[in-house]
Amino acid sequence: MKSSLSKLKKLLDAELINSDSQFDGISIDSRTIESGNLFIAIKGYNFDGHNYINNAISKGASAIISERKIDNIPQLVVKNTMIALGKIAQQHINQLNPLSIAVTGTNGKTSVTKLIHSILNENKNALTNYGNFNNHIGVPLSIFKLNTNHKYCVLEMGASVKDDIKYLCEIVNPKIVTLLNVSAAHIESFGSFENILLTKEEILIDQGFSKTVILNKDDKNFLRWKKIVNNHNLVTISIKNNADYSIKSIIGNELNIKLPNNQLLQLLLKDNHIKFIENILIAVACSHQAGASIQNIVDGYTNYKGIKGRFYLYDGIKNSIIIDDSYNANPSSMKRSLDSLSSMAGNHWFVMGDMGELGSESEKFHQDVVKYAKQLRIEKLFYIGQFEKIVKETFGNNVHCFDDKHSLVEFIRTKLHKDVNILVKASRFMKFEDIVMQLINTENK
């Protein structure tokens, strides 16, 4: 993104200090800033970018946006740098006007977003979130990567407090949106499950622009969400019922999807669990509504390799299969992953860590997951975390608890054999990718 301070002055209601300056690219991180970038000194919960202005200047920042005056550097002074970040992103995406798609929900949003991007990016003209940048900081930073070659902008939207999704939609003005599902996650920051539900539903509300809303008719909240959608164009998907995009048949690993106008799409399944199929249907609907052809969808789906840390399969030592689902976890995503594990041929082992931000009912949520694993007849459970007592009592035989990752890995290495599928899953703070890397075949590393 190229611009100048003088062009942003009116937009941000800012004071131009020292002199005008051109810039090429925007950064909020003095460690990775490049020469000629504009540095925006944003404030977060645990950091203040104003403390790193000198570092940014020493690395070649051509100008800054801050909340206080700095000598001898071209700058705009604003009341709130975080709001300034969002306003610049909003102006940039409005000027380029790509067909924008927004995805939110508790589980599956990254996988769905990346699959949509894979389908629409045949001509390298689709942008998606940079890394895991899906919040009020990350979405604007991703938007700054947009250029005139981009026809599509496919964005995952995450939230940690009420109004987060509403704010992101105001920046992006998405033409196509989808709400995948809502379940308990980040309860501590939201305060209640109802607040989580209301926040995710912000993607559906009328914000003064028309949009196509894609919803799953099989979801327990569908009728509630249908009322919110109101006058917007509602497009539905379903595995169980008739819908705009539905399953005609599943024969072996051959998935046949009925599209509008009775067109038929055939894909080869990589995972036959229901949640994976729902993700495919949503991605197909979003892409098709955005103008993708059947061949685009087939090619994009075929080329999609999955995302490391999100039910990503590795060849493990001793001819085992290691399922890396270590990126994050909440009660519903734990159960979804266990469902997929149990559908795989062979033995089923579960390496479980703690789930964060579940509030006062955290122990109950962990117990529910262990109960579910037992119901699915998972053969062995390996656990690290603070609920060892309840995990042992709930799972019974064949549970092994450890104080550290090294001990867990060494124990599993002695027990592994061919035809074992090991699911490794916990919340981000547990860093269970360390376990994955020690169990996979070294040729994968």
Burial, 155: exposed, middle or buried (Cβ in 10 Å; 0-12, 13-18, 19+)? Answer: buried
Tokens at 444, concatenated? 């994968």
CA-based Rg of the chain, rounded to a whole angstrom?
24
Residue 397's identity, in one-letter code, is N
CB atoms within 10 A of CB 233: 13
User: What was the pLDDT predicted at 189?
Assistant: 64
Residues in the chain: 445
Enter the tokens of residue 417: 């054999």
d(C-alpha 301, C-alpha 119), whole Å? 6
Q: What is the DSSP string of 302-319?
A: HH---BTTBSEEEEBGGG
For residue 22 the two structure tokens come to 């051109």
One digit per residue, the tens of pLDDT, for the chain of length 445 reads: 899 999 999 999 999 999 999 999 999 999 999 999 999 999 988 899 999 999 999 999 999 999 999 988 999 999 999 999 999 999 999 999 999 999 999 989 999 999 999 999 988 999 999 888 999 999 999 999 999 999 999 999 999 889 999 999 999 999 999 999 998 766 666 778 888 899 999 999 988 888 999 999 999 999 999 999 988 999 999 999 999 999 999 998 899 999 999 899 999 997 766 778 999 999 999 999 999 999 999 999 999 988 888 888 899 999 999 999 999 999 999 998 999 899 888 999 999 999 998 988 999 999 999 999 999 999 999 999 999 999 999 999 999 999 999 999 999 999 999 999 999 999 999 999 999 999 998 765 5
Helix (H, G, I), strand (E, B) or coil at 322: strand
Distance between CA atoms of residues 64 and 27, nearest Å: 10
pLDDT of residue 307: 85
Can you list the domains of the chain with their CATH numbers? 2-79 (3.40.1390.10), 97-303 (3.40.1190.10), 312-444 (3.90.190.20)
For residue 271, the model assigns a pLDDT of 72
What's the pLDDT at 343?
82
Q: Determine the pLDDT at residue 137.
A: 96
